[in-house]
Amino acid sequence: MSQASLSTPMVQGLKAFYQQGKPIRRCKIIGTMGPASSSEDMVRELMQAGLDIFRVNFSHGSHEDHAATIKTIRRVAKECGLYATILQDLQGPKIRCGKLLNGQLRLEKGARYHLQYGEVQTDPMVIPIDYRYLCKDIHVGEAVMMDDGLLLLRIESIENTHAVVRVEEGGVLKSRKGVNFPDSHLSVPPLTEKDNKDLLFGVTQHVDAIALSFVQTAKDVAQCKKIIQALGSDIPVIAKIEKLSAVQGIDEIASISDGLMVARGDLGVECRVERVPGFQRKIIEAAAKYSVPVIVATQMLESMVENPRATLAEVADVANAVLEGADCIMLSAEVAVGKYPVACVQKMVSIIEEVEGWVDTKTQRYEPFDRHAALWQTHTAIARAVCEAADNLHARAIVCLTLTGSIARLISSWRPKTPIIAISPRTDVIHRLGFMWGVHSMQNPLFYDTDVLLQDLPRLLKSLHVVQSGDVIVITAGIPINEMKSTNMIKINQIE
């Protein structure tokens, strides 16, 4: 081996390849940071349990709190020999009722109230709503849902400054609960003033992806990307699909986004809850079509917020998300405020490994050949060929030498049986690949040395105990590497 190749690169991120006898998990797990999960000790336990991506929810907390959390995650990840991906989730234009008299209001079925723009209730029959253009965007006969859909009201008339609504499904409304208008197309901007400030903060903190809430059209995603670009960054944008209009325009949104999230909570409020499973499948199919990662979120192990064990229905829900092709599945309150955050991650790992064991011998996504599809580009043909070669040769790994991560993302979208190792000199690319199904990444500062990476890579991986004698690896790269060529080469090596 050449002297240059003896310089050992970072092996951070390849922990799964060192666990002899354990399956290498493909589907990634996201956990939400909160009071139950933000301490250094808990972050370490969550990582060791298998949490891959840390969601920082900007609907709560200050910038100082979030900065401390991000710093802790990065430090603990390095200590654990892992790469932890950080997802910034913007609050978005969430509409809420104002501060109510006595903190709550009982809405009786059949009773009538006035909805009016405002922050504080002064009249018990007037419910303040913090949306300035309320009377402009709504229409008579449309539904109004409050507190995650638990309360249902119907619009009977609209005046200049208020709307009269009748309660169809009553209950107790508490201050600052969310308000949804599932039948209305609201003229809210995709980013609020708070979101713009949070976005700037996220860019300065080098978060790995930004989740854009309440996306209605592809233009919302384009506007967010434009702002990020103006801030001098290229951080990926994940579109949260939680409105009916977004489901209806899912192809356009998927084509411009860097990822999709099936945000089932608000989506279930915006439409009939029984439609959500069908929407979930439609969103996952759109993500596959455009080769972007997809996250399934909300109430996956909800009972474990309070209880140490998941219900059978929850286990089946997680299993179905894996079977349908999710790149990531997300824990929210279970990790943020729940009593058993580590047990939740462990249960998620157990379910994923079990399900991936079932499907390991089944037909993969790349098998069907669509004769009506557009002509492939070179990198698409290479990605499919790599999957077929690796799976048929029972390769130990597909190894992608990549500057931007694009070939690893494309190979991941074909869903090979073989695990993927992405090698890049860029830490930001390695973190971003954390969202991709089946991809494990390592940083290599020798990326630009063609001889080292292509001639000596098999021996280098063997010296790192990632592979052993007799293993087959399939390598992809763009050669010459030092000329930044797109991926144009496949090389098959048997480890000596």
pLDDT digits (tens, 9 = 90+) for 86-134: 999 999 988 999 999 999 999 999 999 999 999 999 999 999 999 989 9
Query: Into how many domains does the chain fold?
Result: 3
**How confident is the model over 371-395, as a mean pLDDT?**
80
Lowest mean pLDDT among 334-348, 381-395, 479-493: 479-493
Same domain, 298 and 423: no
Judging by DSSP bridges, how do beta strands 104-107 and 171-174 pair with one another?
antiparallel
In a domain, 220, yes or no: yes
350's CB contacts (< 8 A; 6+ apart) are: none
Same domain, 238 and 293: yes
CATH number of the domain enclosing 487 = 3.40.1380.20
Query: What Cα–Cα distance (Å) separates residue 290 from each residue in 21, 252, 390?
Result: 34, 10, 23
- Residue the block writes with tokens 């001889």: 451
In a domain, 108, yes or no: yes
Same domain, 207 and 341: yes
Residue 377, amino acid? Q
Residue 121 lies in domain: 101-180
262's CB contacts (< 8 A; 6+ apart) are: 241, 279, 280, 283, 284, 294, 295, 296, 297, 298, 326
Domain final residue, candidates 180, 204, 237 = 180
Same domain, 260 and 334: yes
CATH number of the domain enclosing 162 = 2.40.33.10
Query: What Cα–Cα distance (Å) separates residue 255 from each residue in 237, 306, 376, 402?
Result: 12, 39, 17, 22
Q: Is the pLDDT of residue 209 over 70?
A: yes
In a domain, 185, yes or no: no
Same domain, 251 and 376: no
Percent of the chain with pLDDT over 90: 71
Q: Is the pLDDT of residue 335 over 70?
A: yes
Same domain, 222 and 134: no
In a domain, 465, yes or no: yes
Q: Which pLDDT score, from 0 to 100, does residue 337 have?
A: 94
Which residues are the active-site residues? 55, 96, 240, 298
Same domain, 293 and 337: yes
Domain final residue, candidates 358, 381, 410 = 358
Q: Which pLDDT score, from 0 to 100, does residue 332 have?
A: 95
In a domain, 196, yes or no: yes
In a domain, 109, yes or no: yes
Q: Which pLDDT score, from 0 to 100, does residue 362 have?
A: 57
Give the separation between CA 364 and CA 384, rounded to whole angstroms: 11
Same domain, 458 and 406: yes
CATH number of the domain enclosing 237 = 3.20.20.60
In a domain, 124, yes or no: yes
Q: What is the pTM of this model?
A: 0.89
Same domain, 231 and 347: yes
Same domain, 282 and 221: yes
In a domain, 19, yes or no: no
Domain final residue, candidates 147, 180, 213 = 180
Same domain, 204 and 339: yes
Give the separation between CA 496 and CA 475, rounded to whole angstroms: 16
Same domain, 336 and 377: no
